Structure 1
């Protein structure tokens, strides 16, 4: 949150960022209004990219996490929703069999071209 002061004699006021939600597919942040537009497009892109991968790197379709997002007071629990979406997006990453770093499958292919085992000392 940014601090803003209108003049030098008053206390700074807090500027709140609008609430954001993580995409459960790609892990990027979107506004609460645009996430419903993004998710179907992201899933379509995911299918297209997954189908281009070698069979051994293809992944199961990501499932939208089921999180109880309404609190007792009737508000959305964005923290719980974001945590579940972030975990889902991270589960899409595939580890390199040489170094163990994780990548999206299409990026893993590029990484593996240059990843070499460390020389024994």
Structure 2
């Protein structure tokens, strides 16, 4: 005898995403295995792009956040690590001196071409 799934005896199955880590440089999510490959490449790309910027838009090198990521049970606290990495990535944004919106420095240059001060009423 085989049982068929009906509303009364079926439980929805949750699909669990693999854990991800946020890059402290670019703010994107990567798998726990590939983040170690991504970060050196991302930092190299960051240096290349930063060197092409005008001197007033150049930033200091982002530092990897130091967060105590091991919990009492010996597991990594990915939430705390990701929060610190996201904050670090957001600190890389530069505000527009006209409207105040924040951008990556290379995008700020493009934005400022079209950003105009609001006309006084």
TM range (shorter): over 0.9
Paired residue total:
121
- Relative to structure 1, is the Cα distance of residues 116 and 5 closer, same or farther in structure 2, using a 3 angstrom cutoff? farther
| TM superposition shift of 1:2 | 26
- Relative to structure 1, is the Cα distance of residues 2 and 72 closer, same or farther in structure 2, using a 3 angstrom cutoff? farther
Which consecutive segments of 4 or more residues in structure 1 shift more than 2 A? 1-9
Q: Is the contact made by 1:51 and 1:58 (CA closer than 8 Å) also made in structure 2?
A: yes
Q: Which runs of 5+ in 1 are unaligned?
A: none
* Residues in 2 aligned to 1:5 and 1:15: alpha-carbon distance in whole angstroms: 18
Q: Give the RMSD, CA atoms, in angstroms.
A: 4.7
TM-score, normalised to structure 2, is 0.93
TM-score, normalised to structure 1, is 0.93
List per-residue Cα deviations over 1:31-57 (Å, max 9, x = no partner). Answer: 000000000000000000000000000
Q: Is the contact made by 1:5 and 1:12 (CA closer than 8 Å) also made in structure 2?
A: no
* Residue number in structure 2 paired with 1:104: 104
List per-residue Cα deviations over 1:68-106 (Å, max 9, x = no partner). Answer: 000000000000000000000000000000000000000
Q: Is the contact made by 1:2 and 1:15 (CA closer than 8 Å) also made in structure 2?
A: no
Q: Is the contact made by 1:4 and 1:14 (CA closer than 8 Å) also made in structure 2?
A: no
* Residues in 1 aligned to 2:107 and 2:51: alpha-carbon distance in whole angstroms: 15
Q: Secondary structure at the match of 2:81?
A: helix
Of Structure 1 and Structure 2, which has the larger fraction of its residues in strand? 1
| TM superposition shift of 1:8 | 8.5
| TM superposition shift of 1:15 | 1.0
